[in-house]
Structure 1
Amino acid sequence: MLPKTTRAAVLVAHGAPLEMTDLPLPEAIEPGAALVRLHCSTLCGTDIEIWSGKMSFPGMLPMVLGHEMVGEIVALGEGTLDALGRPLKTGQRIGWSESTCGHCHGCNILREPVACSSRGYGFLQRADRPPYAISGLSQYAYVTPGAEKLVIPGAVKDTWAAMAGCTAKTVLRAFERAGNLRTGAKVVVQGAGALGIFATAAARLSGAGTVITVGAPESRLAMAKRFGADHTVDIALGSEGIVEAVMAHTDGHGADYIFDFAGAPSIGREAVGMAAQRGRIIVVGTTDHAENPLSLGRVMGKELTFHGSLNGDIADYKRALDFFVDFGSRMPWDDLFSAPVGLSGADAAIRAMQAQDIIKAVIDPRLS
């Protein structure tokens, strides 16, 4: 007997406490779809921006937060396959990508899932319309036919697999967009949240010669050191001080690769200032559309290359899972996560992330 409803923590107003409620589940599972009992969700910075109202658009509420999640299949629609064309089975532990339509310009002409014009993020699904529950802060999630599904390798923990669904795949896609790191390169990571710390680790594991993490607070910079940073720079120094510190740590030459995982208004100017000749600047964390002037003369004079990198697709997700299989013992990944709480603790976990008291909140809907 399939469950008819799922308990969920619903955001009804930005900054307001989450409301515990029961949401309907489909009476029948569509071909290509799956119903999953969630094992855990890890909260992303985007979840916090949506909760606070920093990221908002008309008609998005009410909604269920959470787009990094992993769970166990409890029911399948006819012919439901994984991303590699293999039949799925109940009881398997899976993760999945945001749904894509498969027939728009982005999907079929660009062959780029992140450019899908109908990309189905959880935060585009209202909690008062079918299929209601496709996100993480829920006991069950309905995985739509257009979402590509992957069986999670046994060596990958639930928390790692959940984080692979956004944080890890976003970072690895950005590294690929940069052309992959040159061995011995000097790398700056702007931002010391989960993305920045994971990027710090990835840079170290990829053979970077010098890794510098820029951010705050001090506790997160200390964590960045544990994940491979040779140097850290506190944003309290201000833009000029940050650039001066990076130049000092790179013998005055600047950084070969600069990854924006912070999104502050000063990020672009600082990146241009600290970039080495022919350096590459990869913009990942800047999501607003504000005009932040850059010195194009310095961009030209240094022959800089800019890359934008948007989230990630199912290929990036697969690479992220493989990354944890290969490098699971190389970094203290578990230190990124808070102690798991149930749905009733999700609101407090969000507020703790907002206050930067924790890096990565973990919600286990199986807990009380």
Structure 2
Amino acid sequence: MSLPATTRAAVLTAHGSALTVQDIPLPDKLEPGAALVEITCTTLCGTDVHLWAGGMTFPGMLPMVLGHEMVGTIVAVGDGAADTLGRPLSAGDRIGWSESTCGNCFGCTVLREPVACSDRGYGFRQRADTWPYATGGLVKHCYVTPGAAKLLLPDDVKDTWAAMAGCAAKTVLRAFDRVGGIRPASTVVVQGAGALGIFATAVARIAGAGKVITVGAPDERLRMAGQFGADATVSVSLGSDGCVQEVLRLTDGKGADHVFDFAGAPSVGKEAIAMAAQRGTVAVVGSTGPADNEVPLGTVMGKELSVVGSLNGDISDYYRAIQFFSTFAGRMPWDDLFSEPVGLQGASAALAAMSELNQIKAVVDPRLP
């Protein structure tokens, strides 16, 4: 079959500006192991908002196509294309995928950690005016590179859930794995009430936590955190010291057995250490910016805390995120996390709404007008 020569895309050409909907090229042939996919759903992530606003930038990145949480239907495949479990892929298959890895660097070969790959292939690392052009999610057709870890999706996991699994959900599940899981009846504090924080609240509840406390804002998101399993919520309007004191009050002065940073605010490190119980664990997940955060090392020592970092996730975490949604489909109101889908023309407004905290997970369906 003949492949389309171009695809419609919403392209970021200047930080903070409206995306430009235009046609961009597609590769004229598929590499072995690659796939051309018609996108059916892209969910926007906080990283997309930061990239759009210019909070995350690097020289020569523009123009680019945002979006790294997406699913779609295969239009065509290169020779030997298979998913991560070795299942052959063909036109008509519904797939999701994790970012590509090189397979040759120290991280890939010696550490055997895909997240440590020195050349991870996120869509937002690909300029829209150079080959292979369309690897981000805000496109009608996406070129899925040979090194991207592809996964055939089960029918019982909705497009929105499967897209979110591609970053937000797998990031949360990896963080829970990094701390060794949640001890039954333990106390968990989740810092942040965005998509990751609310999903982490649900995971903590499902994992058997005795008490889950979500710290964040605005109030509407804290109310939603209650719907996703939070026993108590704490508004950041109380200020840094006020949040810590409220968490200590809610835990009878002991603090939390597990504290998860999904917020990344400048004060979050100091607060997490103060909120943690003796011999508790702190997972740093949301502090991605270049600014230094204050961390009282004396308290880490005195409390004998375990502090771990957790970076995004890999195909293993993505697979487990898909299985999580399949297993716990009815446990939480997952659909409430997502806004009504819009087409590529509405992507700019969706990014702006997320930046203003008016949406948790914006949804773009490039098939819509």
The verdict on a shared fold, with TM-score over 0.5 as the criterion, is yes
Counterparts of 2:294 and 2:83, CA distance in 1: 44
Counterparts of 1:113 and 1:135, CA distance in 2: 19
Alignment of 1:218-297 (within 5 A): 218-297=219-298
Q: How far apart are 1:297 and its partner, in Å?
A: 1.2
Aligned to 2:329: 328
* One-letter amino acid of the counterpart of residue 47, structure 1: D
Q: How far apart are 1:288 and its partner, in Å?
A: 1.6
* One-letter amino acid of the counterpart of residue 330, structure 2: S
- 1:91-130 deviation line (CA, Å, top 9, x unaligned): 0100001000001000000000000011101111011100
> SS where residue 358 of structure 1 aligns?
coil
Aligned to 1:47: 48
Q: 2:344, 2:366 within 8 Å by CA — same for their partners in 1?
A: yes
* One-letter amino acid of the counterpart of residue 183, structure 1: P
> SS where residue 185 of structure 2 aligns?
coil
Counterparts of 1:51 and 1:301, CA distance in 2: 41
Aligned to 1:17: 18
- 1:38-93 deviation line (CA, Å, top 9, x unaligned): 00100000000000011111111110000000000000000011101111121010
Alignment of 1:81-92 (within 5 A): 81-92=82-93
* One-letter amino acid of the counterpart of residue 292, structure 2: E
Aligned to 1:56: 57
> SS where residue 126 of structure 1 aligns?
coil
> SS where residue 350 of structure 2 aligns?
helix
Counterparts of 1:303 and 1:108, CA distance in 2: 33
Aligned to 1:96: 97
Aligned to 1:360: 361
> SS where residue 366 of structure 1 aligns?
coil
Q: How far apart are 1:14 and its partner, in Å?
A: 0.4
- Is the counterpart of residue 127 in structure 1 residue 142 in structure 2? no
Q: How far apart are 1:12 and its partner, in Å?
A: 0.3
> SS where residue 127 of structure 1 aligns?
coil
Aligned residue pairs: how many?
Answer: 368
Counterparts of 1:340 and 1:294, CA distance in 2: 40
Aligned to 1:172: 173
- Is the counterpart of residue 153 in structure 1 residue 154 in structure 2? yes
Counterparts of 1:7 and 1:180, CA distance in 2: 43
Aligned to 1:300: 301
Counterparts of 2:282 and 2:25, CA distance in 1: 45
* One-letter amino acid of the counterpart of residue 297, structure 2: L
> SS where residue 7 of structure 1 aligns?
strand
> SS where residue 88 of structure 1 aligns?
coil
Q: 2:36, 2:76 within 8 Å by CA — same for their partners in 1?
A: yes
Aligned to 2:182: 181
Counterparts of 1:332 and 1:295, CA distance in 2: 38
Counterparts of 2:173 and 2:122, CA distance in 1: 19
Q: How far apart are 1:291 and its partner, in Å?
A: 2.1
Counterparts of 1:151 and 1:231, CA distance in 2: 38
- 1:316-342 deviation line (CA, Å, top 9, x unaligned): 000000000000111000000000000
Q: 2:134, 2:141 within 8 Å by CA — same for their partners in 1?
A: yes
What is the percent sequence identity of the aligned residues?
67
Aligned to 1:342: 343
Q: How far apart are 1:289 and its partner, in Å?
A: 2.7
| Alignment root-mean-square deviation, CA | 0.6
Counterparts of 2:295 and 2:316, CA distance in 1: 33
> SS where residue 109 of structure 2 aligns?
helix
Aligned to 1:111: 112
Counterparts of 2:351 and 2:220, CA distance in 1: 18
* One-letter amino acid of the counterpart of residue 122, structure 2: Y
- 1:153-193 deviation line (CA, Å, top 9, x unaligned): 10000000000000000000000001011001100000000
Q: How far apart are 1:292 and its partner, in Å?
A: 2.1
Q: 2:267, 2:294 within 8 Å by CA — same for their partners in 1?
A: no
Q: How far apart are 1:28 and its partner, in Å?
A: 1.0
Counterparts of 2:203 and 2:108, CA distance in 1: 29
Q: How far apart are 1:263 and its partner, in Å?
A: 0.2
Aligned to 1:31: 32
Aligned to 2:80: 79
* One-letter amino acid of the counterpart of residue 351, structure 2: I
- 1:243-290 deviation line (CA, Å, top 9, x unaligned): 111011111110000000000000000011111000100000001232
Counterparts of 1:233 and 1:107, CA distance in 2: 40
5+ unaligned residues in a row in structure 2: which ranges? Answer: none
Counterparts of 1:237 and 1:140, CA distance in 2: 46
> SS where residue 214 of structure 1 aligns?
strand
The two structures have a TM-score, normalised by structure 1, of 0.99
Counterparts of 1:79 and 1:224, CA distance in 2: 44
Q: 2:193, 2:214 within 8 Å by CA — same for their partners in 1?
A: yes
- 1:278-311 deviation line (CA, Å, top 9, x unaligned): 0100000001232222221111110011100000
Aligned to 1:315: 316
